[in-house]
Structure 1
Amino acid sequence: MTAVGPWGQVSGNGADCFDALTGSREQIEPGGWFLGVNGARRDTWPSGSCRGADGFLVCHLTPGVLPTRGDLIQTFYEAPRETLATVGEQIHFEQQWRSSL
């Protein structure tokens, strides 16, 4: 996955599209940049079935609630700015969500 912006051009690789997105994000976040896509939201993470779909889908996570089909959203669709987070913040949210179940 390649992202081009004011930061220049970065590329991420991985086992699926979500991993590649994460690799690109990790390169631009130290400069204060975010990619405005659903896969970069604080409250999203790919489930096993999303990984089986090559990471093109992520689950919208709600604490205490297991996601359903209705909670699946496209990884690369535009996300509202206020929902974006760093990779570290996203991982932390997913861990908190998992603990809430």
Structure 2
Amino acid sequence: MPEEVLFQSEGTQSRAEIASYLRRVAEKLDAGDDLTLTAGKQSVTMTPPDRSTFEVKAEREGPADSPGELSIEFEIEWNENSETDARGSTGELEIE
């Protein structure tokens, strides 16, 4: 299935700024509110259901024998037109 990018924003931020964005997302999720993402003229509102698939991925890109680019990716995924997502988990996530 082809991917359609509905919104994209990328830029250099401080750790504190990133934490602030993540806290706002967490507060919206906890309250059951819609998430509206806005950057410049781009804007999208999404409504995650009560249960979604949550993926956390740590990656290193580049050749194995030289320094590469490291990333941590957080993804919340659900089926469109579905109030819950019943996909299974590979184990309980812990962040320390």
Q: Is TM-score (shorter-chain normalized) higher than 0.5?
A: no
The TM-score with structure 1 as length reference comes to 0.27
Higher RCO (C-alpha under 8 Å, 6+ residues apart): 1
* Larger helix percent: 1
Q: Which has the higher strand share?
A: 2
